[in-house]
Amino acid sequence: MVAAALRAEESARGVGLDVAHVSHAFDLKGVSLPVLDNVSFRVEPGAFVALLGPSGCGKSTLLRLLAGLDAPSAGTVSVDGAGVQGPDPAHVLVFQDPTLFPWRSVARNVALGLEARGLLKTQRYKVAEALELVGLSAFADALPHQLSGGMAQRVALARALVNEPRLFLMDEPLGKLDALTRITMQAELVKLWQRSGFTALLVTHDVEEALMLAQRLIVFSDRPARVRTTFVVDRPYPRHRDDPHLVALRREVLTLLGVEGGS
Amino acid sequence: MSDVTLASHAAVRPARKGVSRGALSRLGLGAGLAWLGLAGATALLPEAGDFERTQDFAAIAGVIGFAIAAATLLGLRSSGLARRLRYGAPWLVALALFFLVWELVTAKYQRLPMPFFPPPQAILEVFLDDGARLADSVWHSLLLLVVGYAVGATLGFVLGVAVGWSVLVGYWAHPILRFVGPLPATAWLPIAFFIFPSSWSASTALIALATAFPVTVLTWSGIASVNKGFYDVARTLGAKQSFLILRVAIPAALPHVFVGLFMGLSGSFAVLVVAEMLGVKSGLGWYLQWAQGWAAYANMYAALIVMAVLCSSLITGLFRLRAYLLSWQKGLVQW
Of the pLDDT bands very low, low, confident and very high (cuts 50, 70, 90), residue B280 is: confident
Of the pLDDT bands very low, low, confident and very high (cuts 50, 70, 90), residue B157 is: very high
Per-residue pLDDT of A226-256, as tens digits, reads 888 889 888 888 888 888 999 999 998 888 8
Residues 6+ apart with CB under 8 A from A16: A42, A43, A44, A45, A79, A80, A81, A199
SS3 (DSSP) at A171: strand
Nearest to A106 by CA among A70, A147, A71: A147
Any idea which of B34-38, B61-65, B190-194, B261-265 has the lowest mean pLDDT?
A: B190-194
Please state the φ and ψ torsions of residue A25, each to the nearest 5 degrees. -140, 145
Bridge partners for A91 per DSSP = A167
Show the domain range for A137.
Answer: 98-164
Bridge partners for A26 per DSSP = A33
A225, A59 Cβ separation under 8 angstroms: yes
d(CA A92, CA A94): 7
Of the pLDDT bands very low, low, confident and very high (cuts 50, 70, 90), residue B332 is: low
Q: Which of B231, B233, B246, B258 to mutate to test the interface with A (most CBs of A within 10 A)?
A: B233
Long-range contacts of B244-247 (CB under 8 A, 24+ apart): B245/B161, B245/B165, B247/A115, B247/A116
Per-residue pLDDT of B175-192, as tens digits, reads 999 998 889 988 988 898
Report the pLDDT value the prediction gives residue A6, as an integer from 0 to 100: 42
- Residue A183 in domain: yes
Give the residue range(s) of CATH 1.10.3720.10 domains in chain B.
131-325
Q: Output the average pLDDT for chain B.
A: 87
Per-residue pLDDT of A160-186, as tens digits, reads 988 888 999 999 888 877 888 888 888
Residue ending a domain, choose from A133, A164, A195: A164
- Residue A8 in domain: no
- Residue A235 in domain: yes
* CB-based contact, A85 to chain B, within 8 Å: no
- Residue A6 in domain: no
Chain A nearest C-alpha distance from B227 (Å): 9
Residue ending a domain, choose from A164, A181, A214: A164
- Please report residues of B whose CB lies closer than 8 A to that of A163: 237-238
Domain B131-325: which topology? MetI-like fold (1.10.3720)
d(CA A219, CA A207): 10
d(CA B330, CA B1): 16
Report whether pLDDT(A261) > 70: no
Do A158 and A189 belong to one domain? no
- Closest B-chain CA to A70: B232
Q: Which of A115, A127, A162 to mutate to test the interface with B (most CBs of B within 10 A)?
A: A115
Report the pLDDT value the prediction gives residue B334, as an integer from 0 to 100: 58
Beta-carbon separation of A91 and B236 below 8 A: yes
Could you give the number of structural domains in chain A?
2
Question: Which among A68, A89, A102 is the nearest to B328, CB-wise?
Answer: A102
> Which residue type does A26 have?
F
In this structure, chain A runs to a length of: 263
Peptide bond into A144 cis (omega under 30): no
d(CA A55, CA A65): 18
Per-residue pLDDT of B8-29, as tens digits, reads 444 444 444 455 677 777 888 8
Between the alpha carbon of residue B233 and those of residues A65, A91, B193, B308, the distances in Å are 14, 12, 50, 46
- Please report residues of A whose CB lies closer than 8 A to that of B237: 89, 92, 112-113, 116-117, 159-160, 163
* CB-based contact, A70 to chain B, within 8 Å: no
- Residue A184 in domain: yes
Report the pLDDT value the prediction gives residue A203, as an integer from 0 to 100: 92
Exposed e or buried b per residue across A87-108, where buried means at least 16 C-beta atoms within 10 angstroms of its C-beta: bbbbbbbbbbbbbbbbbbbbbb
> Which residue type does B150 have?
A
With an 8 Å Cβ cutoff, the interface of chain B facing chain A consists of 227, 229-230, 232-240, 243, 247-248, 251-252, 254, 326, 328-330
- Residue A115 in domain: yes
Per-residue pLDDT of B222-242, as tens digits, reads 999 999 999 999 999 989 999
Question: Which among B236, B243, B328 is the nearest to A87, CB-wise?
Answer: B236
Report the pLDDT value the prediction gives residue A179, as an integer from 0 to 100: 84
* Interface predicted TM-score of the whole assembly (ipTM), two decimals: 0.85
Phi-psi group of A165: left, alpha or beta (phi > 0 → left; psi -120 to 50 → alpha; rest → beta):
beta
Of the pLDDT bands very low, low, confident and very high (cuts 50, 70, 90), residue A12 is: low
- Please report residues of A whose CB lies closer than 8 A to that of B227: 99
Report whether pLDDT(B282) > 90: no
Question: Which among B229, B238, B240 is the nearest to A97, CB-wise?
Answer: B229
Per-residue pLDDT of B25-58, as tens digits, reads 788 888 999 999 999 988 888 888 788 888 899 9
